[in-house]
Amino acid sequence: MVLVFVEHNNGNFKKTALEAMTYGKKTADALGVECKALTFGNNPAINSIGEYGASEILVVDSEHLSAFDSQVYSNTIADIAKANNASVIVTTHNSSGMGITGRLAIKLNAACGSGVNSLPVVSGSDLIVEKKIFSGKAISKVKLSGEVKVISVTGNTLPPEQTGSACPVTATDVSVDAPKVKVISHDKQSGGALPLPEAELVVSAGRGMKGPENWGIIEELAAALGATTACSRPVADTGWRPHHEHVGQTGVAIRPNLYIAAGISGAIQHLAGVNSSKCIVVINKDPEAPFFKAADYGVCADLFDVVPKLTAAIKKAKGN
Amino acid sequence: MSFLFFKSIRTIFASNFTDLMKQLVCISKTPETTTQIKLSADHTSLDTNGVNYILNPYDEWYALVRALELKEQVGGTVTVINVGDATNDVVIRKALAIGADDAIRINTTPDSAMSVAKAIADASKSAAYDIIYCGKESIDYNGSQVGAMLAEYLDLPYINTVVKMELDGNTGTLTRDVEGGTETVSTQTPFVLSAAKGLAEQRIPNMRGIMMSKKKPLQVVEYSNEQNNTVVDEYQLPSGKSAIKMIDADNMDELVRLLQDEAKVL
Ligand SMILES: Cc1cc2nc3c(=O)[nH]c(=O)nc-3n(C[C@H](O)[C@H](O)[C@H](O)COP(=O)(O)OP(=O)(O)OC[C@H]3O[C@@H](n4cnc5c(N)ncnc54)[C@H](O)[C@@H]3O)c2cc1C
Ligand SMILES: Nc1ncnc2c1ncn2[C@@H]1O[C@H](COP(=O)(O)O)[C@@H](O)[C@H]1O
């Protein structure tokens, strides 16, 4: 059995959770076994996860699971995995996944593929998965052997597919310990756009902007696209933009469908965080800027001229 | 004399009348960020000829520096630990030059996140560290696994991608990055954390630190890994981007059309 751990918010699943579900379903199909979902906290709407391939959704409802604690979460997932003889456990490689995937592997004495970005290839009793290493400069094929495998899936690995229909929801009774980590508060970033790791469209800008007062044209472009804004490291370091916008090797690593970079030179540490984007557009006035080598489309001109024109063209195309 | 007295009083208050605070920072060695990655002819290993190594930035800039700041505040010791062979001693000495008190090197091949975590757990169990730091990830294999696995082996709380940490007695208040914002949590020592950007500011070692680092203790522990069920089968280089299309600045309609019809991302 393949068990997929999915998080939901009042019955709503994030896209990354649906991707993990589709990943689990395809893995289960390749192995010829069943695929079930596991989630914490009951809500009538969670049966929709069946549309993405779960044959049943197992629910653990406990006040001890209402906030995230890696220890309590992984203990509970491991208990359910054991009780159901799961051979593959799929998680999302996000902030909670990074806390639980490794713990699960130790608890279940399992092989562990973390941050995987390909469906597994079945080779006898082994699974072979791919992941990017050296910040995207190489790919490693990792062989997972043994009876139990834990895989955490990177966002945008595959699109969610609606192949099934709503599934039965089964309340599952396991004892859950009180967490040793207490959540005191949540702080949401301002702005309505999707957070960077989940955004499919990203507009990013660098030192070529000259100063924070010029960011209006970037925000207008992002608004026209419905995109999230990002920036290079020096821009965040000097306080022109908030730190959570910093992408690259030491910032957030993203893989959106579209990454538009204006006034960013394309240093290797910057590329490390963005080179998995499906399509890259670079706007830079220097024809020698290294970013052009990593881009799909390039505009070699003054960004203060190009960006407003691009915004206008997008508005025009959307108006049609 | 009075300075010493003052410091010890502070230390006693801060650590709740228990022992001095012991902190452990897990440090790894990674190729320098601009390294060109080359593969061996059979693609089963990386060609390490001419590769320059550095301390993993998350471990050096954020984890180690926050541990040192806390030590300056409440006293105690900061130990760094690394799993690897003697070629790692250079980066270990750098951590000592930045300010760690002593170092442990576990002399075995770091062949998987699991064996690294197991080795560190075995070496650190009896020492009862109050806070154990890892980096958010090692920038070579980008696994983000060692911290969670180590916490599991030690049966400790684990708080990942931490951007802020304060300690009051035995209670840690930690802010961590989550999708779309941050989350602030509290827990009691001992705990394990992984450090992300923001936790501290990079420190450059000074001459005195470099001189002193040569005399600081570096203990080498022999160790043999257990068998491993997660192994790299093969390495590949990413397929190169197809040639870039340049678009005239006055033809943004064409760019939008290409994004819609050719790249299909809009
Ligand atoms: C260990 C390490 C980790 C790092 N991690 C990161 C990271 O995570 N993320 C990151 O971004 N950087 C990182 N860096 C820094 C990185 O090396 C570069 O210094 C940084 O990315 C440069 O930022 P930039 O492109 O905005 O600025 P610059 O390199 O100064 O480039 C500005 C660009 O704007 C162009 N420009 C200027 N004016 C205009 C105009 N009017 N119109 C159009 N174009 C214009 C210029 O031609 C130039 O190409 C790291 C460095 C190190 C050593
Ligand atoms: N060989 C090693 N020795 C000591 N610590 C390590 C080693 N490898 C990884 N770590 C620690 O684990 C963190 C996460 O590494 P990783 O799981 O490889 O991404 C690093 O930032 C280090 O703090």
* Matching residue, tokens 């923001």: B198
Is residue B143 predicted with pLDDT exceeding 90? no
Domain identity same for A163 and A31 = yes
Query: From CA B136, how far away is CA B126, in angstroms rounded?
Result: 25
- Protein residue with its CA nearest to atom 11 in ligand 1: A232
- What does the pLDDT profile of chain A (320 residues) look like in tens digits? 999 999 998 889 988 999 999 999 999 999 999 999 999 999 989 999 999 999 999 999 999 999 999 999 999 999 999 999 999 999 999 999 999 999 999 999 999 999 999 999 999 999 999 998 887 888 999 999 999 999 999 988 898 999 989 999 999 989 999 999 999 999 887 666 788 888 899 999 999 999 999 999 999 999 999 999 999 999 999 999 998 899 998 888 898 999 999 999 999 999 989 998 999 999 999 999 999 999 999 999 999 999 999 999 999 999 86
DSSP assignment of B79-141, as one string? EEEEES-GGGHHHHHHHHHHT-SEEEEEES---SHHHHHHHHHHHHGGG--SEEEEES--TTT
Minimal Cα distance from B160: which residue of A?
Answer: A99
Asked, for residue B158, whether it belongs to a domain, the answer is: yes
Question: Would you put residue A10 in left (φ > 0), alpha (ψ -120 to 50) or beta?
Answer: left
Domain identity same for A119 and A253 = no
Is residue B36 predicted with pLDDT exceeding 90? no
Chain B positions in Cβ-Cβ contact with residue A143 (cut-off 8 Å):
230-233
Identify the residues whose C-beta falls under 6 Å from ligand 1: A 206-208, 232-235, 248-251, 263-265, 267, 269-270, 273, 284-286, 289, 302-304; B 33, 57
Residue B26: closest CA among B126, B111, B149, B185: B149
- Per-residue confidence (pLDDT) for residue A191, from 0 to 100: 61
Asked, for residue B253, whether it belongs to a domain, the answer is: no
Domain that holds residue B169: 13-237
Asked, for residue A162, whether it belongs to a domain, the answer is: yes
Q: What is the DSSP letter of B58?
A: I
Asked, for residue A56, whether it belongs to a domain, the answer is: yes
Minimal Cα distance from B173: which residue of A?
Answer: A184
Asked, for residue A188, whether it belongs to a domain, the answer is: no
Of the listed ligands, the closest to the CA of A252 is: 1
Per-residue pLDDT reduced to its tens digit, A265-308: 999 999 989 998 999 999 999 999 999 999 999 999 999 999 99
Chain A positions in Cβ-Cβ contact with residue B153 (cut-off 8 Å):
106
Domain that holds residue A283: 196-317
Per-residue pLDDT reduced to its tens digit, A75-110: 999 999 999 999 999 999 999 999 999 999 999 999
Query: From CA A296, how far away is CA B263, in angstroms rounded?
Result: 9
Q: What percent of chain B has pLDDT over 70?
A: 93
- Per-residue confidence (pLDDT) for residue A38, from 0 to 100: 98
Domain identity same for A98 and A206 = no
Asked, for residue B4, whether it belongs to a domain, the answer is: no
Per-residue pLDDT reduced to its tens digit, B69-90: 999 999 999 999 999 999 999 9
Asked, for residue B73, whether it belongs to a domain, the answer is: yes
- Per-residue confidence (pLDDT) for residue B12, from 0 to 100: 46
DSSP three-state, residue A300: coil
Q: What angle do CA A246, A159, A90 make, to 5 degrees?
A: 85
Residue A158: closest CA among A261, A33, A52: A52
Asked, for residue A178, whether it belongs to a domain, the answer is: no
Residue A274: partners with Cβ closer than 8 Å, 6 or more residues away: A204, A247, A248, A253, A254, A259, A261, A280
How many Cα neighbours within 13 Å face the side chain of B191?
28
User: Is the Cβ atom of B124 under 6 angstroms away from ligand 2?
Assistant: no
User: Is the Cβ atom of B27 under 6 angstroms away from ligand 2?
Assistant: yes
CB-based burial label for B103 (10 Å; 0-12, 13-18, 19+): buried
Between B194 and A163, the higher pLDDT residue: B194
Asked, for residue B256, whether it belongs to a domain, the answer is: no
Chain B positions in Cβ-Cβ contact with residue A295 (cut-off 8 Å):
241, 244
- Per-residue confidence (pLDDT) for residue B8, from 0 to 100: 47
Across residues B220-236, what is the average pLDDT?
91
Q: Total domain count for chain B?
A: 1
Domain identity same for A248 and A162 = no
CATH number of the structural domain spanning residue A32:
3.40.50.620
Asked, for residue A181, whether it belongs to a domain, the answer is: no
CATH number of the structural domain spanning residue B47:
3.40.50.620
Q: Look over chain B and give the mean of its residue pLDDT values, rounded to a whole number.
A: 91
Asked, for residue A177, whether it belongs to a domain, the answer is: no
B30 to A134, A135, A197, B27, B99: CA distances (angstroms): 9, 12, 24, 10, 20
- Per-residue confidence (pLDDT) for residue A156, from 0 to 100: 82
Chain A positions in Cβ-Cβ contact with residue B57 (cut-off 8 Å):
249-250
Q: Total domain count for chain A?
A: 2
Residue A168: partners with Cβ closer than 8 Å, 6 or more residues away: A47, A50, A56, A57
Confidence label for B15 from pLDDT (cuts 50, 70 and 90): very low
Residue A73: closest CA among A48, A45, A96, A42: A96
Query: From CA B193, how far away is CA B132, in angstroms rounded?
Result: 6
User: Is the Cβ atom of B145 under 6 angstroms away from ligand 2?
Assistant: yes
B128 close to B161: Cβ distance less than 8 angstroms: no
Query: From CA B244, how far away is CA B3, in angstroms rounded?
Result: 65
For A12, the token pair is 């709503």
- Per-residue confidence (pLDDT) for residue A50, from 0 to 100: 94
Per-residue pLDDT reduced to its tens digit, B85-113: 999 999 999 999 999 999 999 999 998 99
Domain identity same for A15 and A163 = yes
- Per-residue confidence (pLDDT) for residue B7, from 0 to 100: 46
Q: In B, residues 121-140, which contact A (CB 8 Å cutoff)?
A: 136, 139-140
CATH number of the structural domain spanning residue A288:
3.40.50.1220
CA A91 to ligand 1 centroid distance, Å: 34
Is residue B228 predicted with pLDDT exceeding 90? no
- Per-residue confidence (pLDDT) for residue A10, from 0 to 100: 87
Instruction: Please state the length of chain A.
Output: 320
DSSP three-state, residue B222: strand
**End-to-end Cα distance, chain A:** 48
- Per-residue confidence (pLDDT) for residue B19, from 0 to 100: 67
